[in-house]
Each structure stands twice: as structure tokens, then as C-alpha cells.
Amino acid sequence: MSSSNTPTPHIGAKYGEIAETVIMAGDPLRAKFMAEKYLDNPVCINEVRGMLGFTGTYKGKRVTMMGHGMGMPSIGLYTYELYNFYGVKTIIRVGSAGAYRKELNLGDIVIAEGACTDSNYGDQYELGGVFAPIGDFGLLCKAAQTCEAKGLKYMVGNVLSSDVFYRENPRTERWMAMGVLAVEMEVAALYFNAARSGNKALGILTISDHILTGEKTTSEQRQTTFTNMMEVALSLI
């Protein structure tokens, strides 16, 4: 594929301008914050629809940081194109989540071993059964090791990727009874796309809200203070 080619209408980067490893955040301003804080010589490679993306180097390794928007349709589109049209091999989502476990506090990290979902995203594969979307084991192990080395409080397990933020009947207690750690809106679609394309993915989440206690962080805190999970993600490249 020519370096002058722009493979899709949704991402303005030319082929070759996006690294094989991409760290993604729902909020494009979080991606911008990460690029400015951690990357050497970051170059903006996407501004289409305001979904900012930057490519630079971290400790000599090339990496792209980009937004993916809210919900599975949005992350599903961007990660599909990155894996299938831009040659991306690894995508790490760094995002916020609502805690379902009393042991979790605001700011704690959840590493998504698997992602339950109430979405129909997986129906497109016509499997005739229920597929269990899981993260890459190698990335997961290294992320846990990094958390241990840094002394960060974290948990590894299942999360719920929900299609609905303001759900009429959330059935929270049913997911909690199944041991689900937290709820968010994107990891399952990321894991589906990684599995189908034969690539790697991992979701690393920071607890921004607590479903049981009602505690929550501000939008500014979510954008600029969740640096622990960002540094865990950077340890994987």
C-alpha cells in the first residue's frame, strides 16, 4: 500500500503514519494529553471528526495515541479500520469504568481479562453460540506485573461492556452476582475485532465512578489525572 494512500474516510492518516501499537482513549483530549505528556516528537496524524490521533516515540519505540469515542459502534469502527486497513497489531484501551465491587475505590485499576456485554455486536459473526471476548494473555500478564512493581491497587477479571449508559433497568445486582468487576462501554467490541483480525488487544481501566457508593470523578480528572493506567499501558509497548 502506498504511503500516499489514505485508506478510509474516517481517519485522515496516510498508511504508514500510524504505529503498529496504538493506545486509545474514549476522549480524544485524553489522547492529546497522553501524547503531549509522554511522547517524543508527537505529530498529529488525525483530526477527522475531532478524533485526535498522534504518533511519536516513547523510550525509542514508535507508538500512536488516538481517541475512539464512546460506545461499541464508535470503537468498533476505529479499531476495525486500524487493524484491517492500517496494519496495527496491538491496541490498548485506557478508559474509565464504574465499579461493581466494594473492594474497588476511585482511581483503582481494572485489567479486563474478559468482557461480558449486552450488545449485539457479536451477532455479525453468525457463530451460532456465545463468543467470550478476552484480552491478550501476554499483555495482561505484563500489565499486572507493572501494577505490582509500581505498587498500584488493581484487580483482574471480567468487565461489562454495555451499549446503554442511562439504562431503564440496569440489573446491576445480576452482573455483580456473576463476579463482574466494573462496567464500561467499549472493551467487548475491541476484543471482538482483535480476535477476528488475529491481533492483540487489552483494556486497562481506571475506576471513575462507584455504582454502590455513588462516588464519582469530574470530566477534567478523567482527562488528565488517570496517569497510572497510562503508564501501565506504555509499559506494554
C-alpha distances (whole Å) from 155 to each of 99, 101, 232 are: 11, 10, 13
The Cα 44–Cα 204 span in angstroms is 24
Beta carbons of 13 and 29 less than 8 angstroms apart: no
Would you call 27 a catalytic residue per the annotation? Answer: no
Angle at 39 between CA 35 and CA 44, to 5 degrees: 50
Beta carbons of 18 and 5 less than 8 angstroms apart: no
Burial 178-187 (b: 16+ CB within 10 A, else e): eebbbbbbbb
Q: Where are the beta strands (DSSP E) in 21-123?
A: 21-25, 40-46, 53-58, 61-67, 90-99, 109-117
Q: What's at 171, amino acid-wise?
A: R
Beta carbons of 19 and 55 less than 8 angstroms apart: yes
Active site (catalytic) residues: 209
